Structure 1
């Protein structure tokens, strides 16, 4: 009997613990880890071969283009406001400028600040944020990214465009959602170039031309649970127009870029531990624990029941004579 009661209490205790643990993991632990990092620090690199305007000669050249994007989280500012605050610097280099240590001498250089909700991924304009307004994602997508379309920020165009789910890709043995975005021709600024570049008669003074950017196909590979990128590709085109004209006067950039294998491997390695942890919390584990706990409580209750006592009729060992007492 003592062993039976001990087993019953063990089953009840373990069952009650699992009943509490399952919902705790799903509705308390999960929200506390499903958050973008304050202290992000990563450099992703894309390369491709294409045309670019060599500003040293004023002529179109052909060669390798390298785009290095460094993302650095401002953890102090982020913790103050409870948002992720990421500073993003993007440097574009040609064969000539890639050798220059001063980033200001690159083919192009941009620095932006993305402030966003750590859970929903929605942008916020506080803390000097100038990137991502109205977008669902930029460098990363929301957690639990689905088979649907998202508004994704294009850093060159400076606005968000629709990115459609276009399938699943496997990279280093893991599955990623593929999203494809198309950016129509968009004016992004101006550039001072020699007159001959835009078809004018050669002169001493440079002229101002409008820069128009388009991207016929930008592909992002995204880990569905974390929303983290695993690489991608894009076709970046920048053309020049004379002010007020709708005609392309020259091409400043035309290159198909793709994340380097080193970048892809580093991104996959950086997020796979978080992916696996979220897979446990968002999958069946909390519900299995809840179910096993309920079974344990039920078993403990059964074991604690006292066995029913069976009443039996008294048994006599000798019969008395009819009509009299024994003498």
Structure 2
């Protein structure tokens, strides 16, 4: 007779085998599909600082004004579902204490609406769905998932082009560690604006198509490595006007060495980064490793008795050999 293994050992073997198969599926199939940009985002980031602004009532630049930049990002769910991409509508306003609080963002010192469309997995720009402007580069508002220790081409919407941000090590924000990137923007012409000639040093001309110029004293971003979420941002914009063909700034519209995330914006960004990063770590690392270890233990625990049960046999007792008959 053959001694069979117990049903319990076979159950353990089956569960262990299932977990061993599940582990690589979680790591290589489920985790990459969990790292996608949302189509229902609704966030607000606030920057504050001091600097010079152009007072339209006094028709001159005034220094040492408190400046507040508010950036509202809301997803267009319908267009996102229709296109399969993440469609985000962005409204950026610049205010002084004189224009805050404002019931209508159009009353701000500066009001800039635009639409960003990106691939949900790679975060690369996608050109569809009434995107405006034509956004390029590798990152804007957020970095791709799994941020690397290298330079990235960041879209600067005021510049209307990309800025190279260089990796500068790590930095803690609200006790949470992220990758730090920095860059600057040299003065560049960004467009024209009709203004009274007196503003750009041409008082005899009632209106002039003045040149708009933009530079940035310094961009600094701290980014969550796993999700690409920006947990701290700092910028130093300088926007000026020049007479047509002029070589020097004739009027300063905005100039600040440092506009940075408020503490409340930092805390919210860190909270979301911890949550999303934790979920990705759970699916991509914790669960696969746990499943692999548990699967191996259960497979061994159930497999060894099963193998032994098959190999062991009860040897039959050999019958007595009859003796040779004696004859007379």
Q: TM-score, normalised by structure 2?
A: 0.88
Task: Name the counterpart of 2:33.
Answer: 32
1:221 to partner: Cα distance: 1.5
- Report the Cα offset of residue 26 of structure 1: 1.4
Q: Is 1:109 matched up with 2:111?
A: yes
Do the aligned partners of 1:132 and 1:138 also contact (CA within 8 Å) in 2?
no
Question: Offset of 1:51 from its aligned partner?
Answer: 0.7
Instruction: Provide the rounded CA distance (Å) in 2 between the counterparts of 1:249 and 1:3.
Output: 94
Q: Which residue of 1 aligns with 2:13?
A: 12
Structure 1 Cα separation of the partners of residues 191 and 103 of structure 2: 25
- Matches of 1:298 and 1:17 in 2, distance apart? 13
Contact 1:132/1:153 (<8 A) preserved? no
- Which residue of 2 is the match for residue 23 of structure 1? 24
Tell which has more relative contact order, 1 or 2 (C-alpha 8 A, sep 6+): 2
Question: Could you say which residue in structure 2 is the equivalent of 1:66?
Answer: 68
The CA distance in 1 between the partners of 2:9 and 2:57, in whole Å, is: 84
CA offset at residue 20 of structure 1? 2.1
For 1:153-232, list aligned pairs within 5 A.
Answer: 153-201=155-203, 205-232=206-233
Partners of 2:3 and 2:313 within 8 A in 1: no
Structure 2 CA distance for aligned equivalents of residues 247 and 123 of structure 1: 35
Shift of 1:156: 0.9
Pairs within 5 Å for 1:262-277: 262-277=264-279
Structure 1 residue ranges (4+ consecutive) displaced by more than 6 angstroms after TM superposition: 1-4, 310-314
Matching residue of 1:139: 141
Structure 1: give runs of 5+ residues left out of the alignment. 317-324
Cα deviation digits, residues 241-272 of structure 1 (max 9, x gap): 11112222222211120011111111122332
* CA deviation string 1:207-244 (max 9, x = no partner): 33211011131111111111111121011011211111
Report the count of equivalent residues: 319
8 Å CA contact retained: 2:27, 2:285: no
> 1-side partners of 2:119 and 2:102: how far apart?
37
Q: Normalising by structure 1, report the TM-score.
A: 0.88
